[in-house]
A = this chain, B = another copy of it.
Amino acid sequence: MKNPVIILVQTQMAANIGMCARAMLNCGLTELRLVAPRDGWPNPDAISPATDAKHIIESAKVYSTVKEATADCHQVYAATARIRHLNTPAVTATEAAAEIHQNAQSEAGEYQAAILFGPEASGLDNDSMSHADRLMHYPMNPDYTSLNLAQAVLLFSWEWWKSRPDATTTYETSWTPAPREEFDYFINRLENLLDDAGFFPNKLKKPTTLQKIKSLFNRSNPSSQEVKSLQGILTALIGISKK
């Protein structure tokens, strides 16, 4: 399966090309194409802003026209805020990402998508946009939709990365909750101590109050080590006035 290529059209600042490469790498995209970068190519100014994405910069291919840069692509999206342009259908970045994954899966390795991003100051011009079959936009705060180039590349790349079919939502807990008996032992001890302290003046309300306390500690899912800390805290607190 081919990942989408990012095509930067007539970019003005090489540093921005570097920052785009970095944003791509964050999201697993590696193929960068450049159409007529203003200050020529290769350009040392792109290297440092690319940080660890130097290999993306070094393998970037340069073209003189959008037409050449997109020749092998099956679907071309033009990133633009001017979505009423040219009667070309407009999708959001999120929709574009989903569509690209769908097509990539059904085409079994052949399908190549590309996203065009225009120059910093003006965005894509009409001629560049005419090579796209979809306009892609970011439904931003309507009062302020201007994104810088690397941020526009990042948001598309992020949407693509998040929606890839093999994305695993890695939602790991970083600790193991203690066995219930350790937790219950702590709660029992707390209950006994609170009984001793006269914490439950109303016997009828005690079960409810105790449930609430239990649920509060339960919510933390304390580890064995943490239950030991809680036990230590109990021991310390009840010892205070003996000192």
> Which of A67-75, A98-106, A229-237 lies at the interface?
A229-237
> Which of A37-45, A123-131, A141-149 lies at the interface?
A141-149
Chain B residue contacts of A26, Cβ below 8 A: 138, 140-141, 144-147, 151
A1-52 residues at the B interface, CB under 8 angstroms: 19, 22-23, 25-28, 51-52
Q: Does A83 contact B (CB under 8 A)?
A: yes
Please name the residue on chain B nearest to A135 by beta carbon: B174
Chain B residue contacts of A87, Cβ below 8 A: 174-175, 223, 226
* Chain B min CB distance to A190 (Å): 7
A82-124 residues at the B interface, CB under 8 angstroms: 83-85, 87, 89-92, 94-95
Please name the residue on chain B nearest to A150 by beta carbon: B151
Asked if B236 contacts A199 (CB within 8 A), the reply is: yes
Residue of B91, B146, B148, B238 near A237 (CB, 8 A) is B238
* Chain B min CB distance to A22 (Å): 8
A214-243 residues at the B interface, CB under 8 angstroms: 216-217, 219-223, 226, 229-230, 232-234, 236-243
Q: Does A197 contact B (CB under 8 A)?
A: yes
Q: Does A181 contact B (CB under 8 A)?
A: no
By CB atoms of chain B within 10 A, which of A91, A138, A140, A190 has the most?
A140
**Given A52-B146, A216-B226: A141 touches B25 (CB 8 Å cut-off):** yes
Write the residues of chain A forming the contact surface with B, with a CB cutoff of 8 angstroms. Answer: 19, 22-23, 25-28, 51-53, 83-85, 87, 89-92, 94-95, 138-141, 143-148, 150-151, 154-155, 158, 161-162, 167, 169-175, 190, 193-194, 196-199, 209, 212-213, 216-217, 219-223, 226, 229-230, 232-234, 236-243
Q: List 24 A-B contacts (CB under 8 A).
A: A19-B148, A22-B148, A23-B151, A26-B140, A26-B141, A85-B174, A87-B174, A87-B175, A90-B171, A92-B171, A139-B167, A151-B151, A193-B236, A193-B237, A193-B240, A197-B237, A197-B240, A198-B236, A216-B230, A220-B220, A238-B240, A238-B241, A239-B241, A241-B241
Given contacts A28-B141, A237-B237, 5 further A-B contacts (CB under 8 A): A26-B144, A27-B140, A27-B141, A139-B167, A141-B161
